[in-house]
């Protein structure tokens, strides 16, 4: 094969640049005589917008064509314009009935050179996607090899000429080549349609085809909208690294077996949420504290999860029972302290308002509880007729004094074996209750063992659940057994640590309230 000539890029560029000089004569050619070039690989998007612009402003740039056999013409540059004009004509417009303004390239050259001129003419007239650039680089390389076969000489390396003609760096060309040669066929198809960006496509193409598919499947399964167009390159890297580590993992629940829950782990590890996930660091589902709620947990853990949920339900039941007992004790304390407070007011012969008025100059906070308790509710509390008591309602002494504070003070005094009067400088005798109990077994006081007779008692109780703490509740001793306030036996539910007889006047108030309900 003889050498025809050294390839002259400057001449080719000069020929292409003639399109924009306006010096060629414009010819009006019927649209039905203009054919698209079958080798055109550029996308033809946005045709409707372009057609609307042409209808309003006219064709601002003529179409570059070359004559072919049969008196027809083939587009060199202007494929989108031709398709837009076709839309206008199909819509019934007569705007280009006299023909389409064209510039005819009469240059005689080989088909390869003609196509190369087409590419050069289109390179500066459109904004190309990464997929278009990839097709362009591939086609330029093919055309240059064809021109070499025709006898043209290209000094230097061929890839440098591809870089010059495409306007892309050699690094970018290398990336694009990796994509078109190593990306999985179905993913390359999506990339060519613009459904995947170049960075993600390159990251995927650097990995085996099966790994590419595995990564994309995990992404699509982990999201409601699993469009891989939303995938990021860092996801590809992290998912590939985790998948590689999972390949070597052995199942701790089936000694010697390979982990068969890898896809579920990948799906969970990259499901789009940014909270910490042990599986993202390669941990097994068996080591994860969130395995009960995880929809991607290993199936081998289903039986364990079933048992753990049953255990938690029982624990929650005990916890709710303990919380109810605690709240009942708080309500009981609030209810009866207010009632006793009302009785004390009656014995003193003064009203609640008079007491607050009398204490105000002395710096008492007693007058401030009405901010948090309605006046009508205070009246019902004092009369022992209030039914809407909450565990966090205040005691009558101070708006911030709650049942928990009352219980805390009592617990401190009991732990020290002293009375509250002694603790707050009201008495010099540590605990007069001990003295009274030693004189008579019927005197009220905290006692242990079985009560001497049937009756109602304020009891310190502890639930059998290990999580439950000691609390207080009203109980009844009847027929040698403890019963709760509803008359139910409490055997096995909680144990009575100590008891204190409820004074008869409180019994009467309880019965009156029960009748009022």
Q: What is the pLDDT of residues 166-211, one digit of tens each?
A: 778 888 888 888 888 899 999 988 888 888 888 889 999 999 998 8
Look at 62 and 40; give whichever has higher pLDDT. Answer: 62
Tell me the two tokens of residue 414: 């009991």
257 three-class SS: coil
Pairing of strands 152-153, 455-463: unpaired
pLDDT higher for 275 or 337?
337
For residue 347, how many C-alpha atoms fall within 13 Å in the half-sphere facing its CB?
6
Contact 424, 286 (CB under 8 A): no
What percent of the chain shows pLDDT beyond 90? 3
Residue 435: band (very low, low, confident or very high) from pLDDT cuts 50, 70, 90:
low
Question: Closest Cα partner for 472 from 411, 385, 400, 394?
Answer: 411
Maximum Cα–Cα distance across the chain: 134
Given phi > 0 = left and psi -120 to 50 = alpha, else beta, which region is 21? alpha
Q: How far apart are CA 143 and CA 41, in angstroms?
A: 14
DSSP string, 41-69: -S----HHHHHHHHHHH--SSPEEEEE-G
Residues 362-380: pLDDT tens digits? 666 555 555 567 888 888 8
Reported in sequence order, the residue ranges of 283-393 that DSSP labels E, i.e. its strands, are none
Angle of helix 262-269 versus helix 209-221 axis, rounded to 10: 60
What's the rounded Cα separation, in Å, for the pair 143 and 281? 49
List residues bridging with 64 in a β-sheet. 77, 103
Contact status, residue 135 vs residue 98, Cβ threshold 8 Å: no
Q: Evaluate if residue 16 carries a pLDDT over 60.
A: no
477: three-class secondary structure by DSSP: strand
CA 150 – CA 2 distance, rounded (Å): 9
Give the three-state DSSP class for 464: coil
b/e code 170-199 from CB counts within 10 Å (16+ = b): eebbebbbebbebbbeebbebbbeeebbbe
pLDDT at 437 over 60: no
Q: Does residue 430 carry a pLDDT above 60?
A: yes
- Give the residue from 236, 171, 174 showing the smallest Cα distance to 201: 236
The confidence score (pLDDT) of residue 124 equals 58
Q: Angle at Cα 471 formed by Cα 468 and Cα 474, nearest 5°?
A: 130
**Bridge partner list, 495:** 462
Q: H-helix or E-strand containing 339? A: helix 302-348
Q: How far apart are CA 297 and CA 17, in angstroms?
A: 64
Tell whether the model's pLDDT for residue 312 goes beyond 60: yes
Identify any residues that bridge with 470 across adjacent strands, giving them in sequence order.
none
Per-residue pLDDT tens over the stretch 98-147: 889 998 876 656 667 767 776 776 665 556 778 777 877 887 887 788 77
Angle subtended by helix axes 302-348 and 375-382, to nearest 10: 80
Q: Give me the pLDDT at residue 17, please.
A: 41
Residue 508 has pLDDT above 60, yes or no: no
Query: By the 8 A CB rule, do 105 and 65 touch?
Result: yes
């Amino acid at each position: 094969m003889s050498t025809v000539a050294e390839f002259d890029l400057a001449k080719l560029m000069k020929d292409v640049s003639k399109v924009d000089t306006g010096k060629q004569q414009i010819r009006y050619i019927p649209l039905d005589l203009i054919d698209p070039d079958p080798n055109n690989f550029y996308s033809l998007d946005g045709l409707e917008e372009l057609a609307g612009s042409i209808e309003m402003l006219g064709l601002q740039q003529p179409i570059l064509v070359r004559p072919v056999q049969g008196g027809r013409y083939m587009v060199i540059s202007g494929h989108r314009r031709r398709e837009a004009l076709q839309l206008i004509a199909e819509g019934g417009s007569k705007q280009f009935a006299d023909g389409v303004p064209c510039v005819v390239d009469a240059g005689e050259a080989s088909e390869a050179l003609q196509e190369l001129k087409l590419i050069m003419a289109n390179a500066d007239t459109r904004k190309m996607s990464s997929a278009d650039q990839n097709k362009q680089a591939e086609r330029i390389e093919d055309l240059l090899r064809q021109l070499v076969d025709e006898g043209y000489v290209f000094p230097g390396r061929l890839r440098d000429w591809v870089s010059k003609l495409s306007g892309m760096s050699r690094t970018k060309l290398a990336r694009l080549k990796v994509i078109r040669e190593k990306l999985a066929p179905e993913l390359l198809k999506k990339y060519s349609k613009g459904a995947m960006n170049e960075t993600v496509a390159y990251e995927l193409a650097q990995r085996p085809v099966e790994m590419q598919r595995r990564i994309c499947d995990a992404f699509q399964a982990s999201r409601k909208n699993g469009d891989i167009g939303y995938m990021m390159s860092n996801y590809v890297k992290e998912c590939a690294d985790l998948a590689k580590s999972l390949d070597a993992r052995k199942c701790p629940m089936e000694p010697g077996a390979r982990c068969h829950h890898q896809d579920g782990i990948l799906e969970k590890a990259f499901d789009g949420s940014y909270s910490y996930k042990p599986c993202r660091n390669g941990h097994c589902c068996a080591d994860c504290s969130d395995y009960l709620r995880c929809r991607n947990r290993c199936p081998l853990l289903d039986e364990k999860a079933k048992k753990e949920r049953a255990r938690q339900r029982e624990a929650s039941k005990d916890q709710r029972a303990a919380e109810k007992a605690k709240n009942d004790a708080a309500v009981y304390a609030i209810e009866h302290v207010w009632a006793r407070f009302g009785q004390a007011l009656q014995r003193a012969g003064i009203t609640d308002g008079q007491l607050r008025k009398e204490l105000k100059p002395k710096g008492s906070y007693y007058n401030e509880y009405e901010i948090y308790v309605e006046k009508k509710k205070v009246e019902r509390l004092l009369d022992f007729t209030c039914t809407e008591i909450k565990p966090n309602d205040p005691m009558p002494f101070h708006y911030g004094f709650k049942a928990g504070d009352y219980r805390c003070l009592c617990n401190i005094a009991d732990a020290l074996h002293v009375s509250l009067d002694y603790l707050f400088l009201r008495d010099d005798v540590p605990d007069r209750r001990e003295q009274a109990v030693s004189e008579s077994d019927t005197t009220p006081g905290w006692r242990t063992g079985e009560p001497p007779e049937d009756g109602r008692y304020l009891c310190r109780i502890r639930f059998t659940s290990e999580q439950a703490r000691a609390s207080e509740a009203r109980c009844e001793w009847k027929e040698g057994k403890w019963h709760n306030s509803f008359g139910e036996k409490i055997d096995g539910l909680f144990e009575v640590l100590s008891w204190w007889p409820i004074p008869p006047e409180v019994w009467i108030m309880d019965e009156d309230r029960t009748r009022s309900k």
